[in-house]
């Protein structure tokens, strides 16, 4: 399972409980400690509240601080660490968390630019990928997982979610193979009918 380009993984403002869940939303991955999974996290970002941004700043001295951003001293994996952003978008102060590869000194600036570009769109819309990421991020651990031994070898490690299959009962499906109807059913009502956005 390889992800990596900069991507929004949760719609709306994550509360503190959700923020901590999102920090390691790939915790159930198979062979968690056997390889470098930097690509799973690199580029993920989501919005948080101002109080949570400030709380994270006060936990430990930051690794570094720049205008509008600071990086956590503790690394998640490899050279990937959390970077917190306090940005002004359309005249409003907003705060975000993202995972950047700090071995690339331009990584935080690219993420900052991507967040501003995404959040400055005049029309609220979601790409199919953003819908899938939101479903994955908001699903309880008991209802999401990874394809393991019972799946064909080339599918092992792909993300799975439980879906309601009508008369067939509950089914385990690959996240990226959900139909539009299944995606709509798994999204909260306020996100179901947003227009499709074209991926950047």
Q: Is residue 200 a part of any domain in this protein?
A: no
Going 176 to 179 to 182 to 183, the CA torsion angle's sign is: positive
Using a 10 angstrom Cβ sphere, with 0-12 exposed, 13-18 middle and 19 or more buried, the burial of residue 153 is exposed
CB neighbour list of residue 47: distance below 8 Å, 6 or more residues apart: 10, 12, 13, 14, 94, 95, 96, 119
Do residue 82 and residue 14 come from a single domain? yes
pLDDT of residue 4: 59
Do residue 11 and residue 96 come from a single domain? yes
Do residue 166 and residue 108 come from a single domain? no
Beta bridge partners, 94, equal: 87
Do residue 21 and residue 111 come from a single domain? yes
pLDDT band at 200 (very low <50, low <70, confident <90, very high): very low
Q: Is residue 75 a part of any domain in this protein?
A: yes
Range of the domain at 60: 7-119
| pLDDT of 156 over the 50 cut | yes
Residue 199: closest CA among 6, 3, 1, 4: 6
Do residue 79 and residue 105 come from a single domain? yes
Q: Which of residues 191 and 117 earns the better pLDDT score?
A: 117
Q: Is residue 161 a part of any domain in this protein?
A: yes
- Last residue in a domain, options 119, 146, 179: 119
Do residue 135 and residue 96 come from a single domain? no
pLDDT tens for 116-155 read: 999 987 667 788 898 899 899 998 888 888 888 888 888 8
Give the count of domains, the chain. Answer: 2
Other beta carbons within 10 angstroms of residue 150's beta carbon come to 8
| pLDDT of 197 over the 80 cut | no
Do residue 20 and residue 107 come from a single domain? yes
Do residue 56 and residue 36 come from a single domain? yes
Q: Is residue 109 a part of any domain in this protein?
A: yes
pLDDT of residue 125: 77
Mean of the per-residue pLDDT values of the chain: 85
Do residue 68 and residue 144 come from a single domain? no
Q: Is residue 134 a part of any domain in this protein?
A: yes
- Last residue in a domain, options 75, 102, 119: 119
pLDDT tens for 15-54 read: 999 999 999 888 787 776 666 678 888 999 999 999 999 9
Determine the Cα–Cα distance for residues 98 and 115; give it in Å rounded to an integer: 9
Whole-prediction pTM: 0.84
- Last residue in a domain, options 102, 119, 136: 119
């Amino acid at each position: 399972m390889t992800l990596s380009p900069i991507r929004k993984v949760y719609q709306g403002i994550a509360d503190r409980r959700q923020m901590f869940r999102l920090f390691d939303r790939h915790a159930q991955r198979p062979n968690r400690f056997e390889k470098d999974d930097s690509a799973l996290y690199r580029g993920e970002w989501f919005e948080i509240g101002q109080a949570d941004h400030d709380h994270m700043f006060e936990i430990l001295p930051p690794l570094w601080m720049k205008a509008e951003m600071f990086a956590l001293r503790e690394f998640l994996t490899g050279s990937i660490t959390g970077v917190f952003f306090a940005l002004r978008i359309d005249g409003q102060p907003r705060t975000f968390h993202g995972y950047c590869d700090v071995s690339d000194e331009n990584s935080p600036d690219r993420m900052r630019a991507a967040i501003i570009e995404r959040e400055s769109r005049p029309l609220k819309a979601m790409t199919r990928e953003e819908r899938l990421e939101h479903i994955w991020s908001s699903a309880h651990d008991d209802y999401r997982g990874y394809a393991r031994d019972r799946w064909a070898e080339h599918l092992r490690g792909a993300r799975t979610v439980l879906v309601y299959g009508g008369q067939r009962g509950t089914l385990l499906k690959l996240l990226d193979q959900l139909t539009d109807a299944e995606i709509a059913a798994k999204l909260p009502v306020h996100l179901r009918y947003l227009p499709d956005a074209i991926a950047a």
